[in-house]
Amino acid sequence: MVAIAYIFGSSLYPSIVGTVIFKDVPLGSEVHVSINGLPDYQPGTGEKPPIGPHGFHIHNKGSCKGGNQDQPFMKAGGHYNIANQLHGNHAGDLPVIFSNNGYCRMAFFTNKFKVKDIIDKSVIIHENPDDYRTQPSGNSGKRIACGVINKLMMT
């Protein structure tokens, strides 16, 4: 099975576009990411957290609606966490995304889900890095991009 999320940016980052493709493989899933328009890394200063690398998660609901300019995509809900694990080990906890002149391309394997498990959920990219420990969601800041995960029909 294969699924795809077409990613689009929030009103603060409207130039973000891309795809996240999920593909079943033995013992788990491969995830292929191609995103453009990401903000470049900016180091944190004082109380202000860094911008990037960007937190990257699967969220419970398949909606990129709701919220406002400061908190968009709120109808996506919280992190996908089917096994009720602490943050850092949620099935929806994915590796951070690095912006390379606005672009990210990466692929990785996860054994935490199969594609059928994440259909009709959403992918969220956050402004700040995920610390993989703060409960329940890693203190990764604003949701800056979103895409709903849909089964890809093969012909």
pLDDT tens digit sequence for 119-145: 999 999 999 888 777 776 667 889 999
pLDDT tens digit sequence for 3-42: 999 999 999 999 999 999 999 999 999 999 999 999 999 8
The structure's pTM equals: 0.93
* Backbone φ and ψ of 80, nearest 5°: -65, 120
pLDDT for residue 137: 64
Residue 149: how many CB atoms within 10 A of its CB?
23
- Of the pLDDT bands very low, low, confident and very high (cuts 50, 70, 90), residue 44 is confident
Range 2-151 has CATH code 2.60.120.10: no
Hey, CA dihedral for 139, 34, 65, 11, is it positive or negative?
Answer: positive
pLDDT for residue 48: 86
| Helix, strand, coil abundance in the chain, percent, nearest 5 | 5, 40, 55
Whether the predicted pLDDT of 71 surpasses 60: yes
- Between 25 and 69, the higher pLDDT residue: 25
pLDDT for residue 144: 96
* Separation of alpha carbons 35 and 13, rounded Å: 12
pLDDT for residue 79: 87
* Separation of alpha carbons 1 and 150, rounded Å: 11
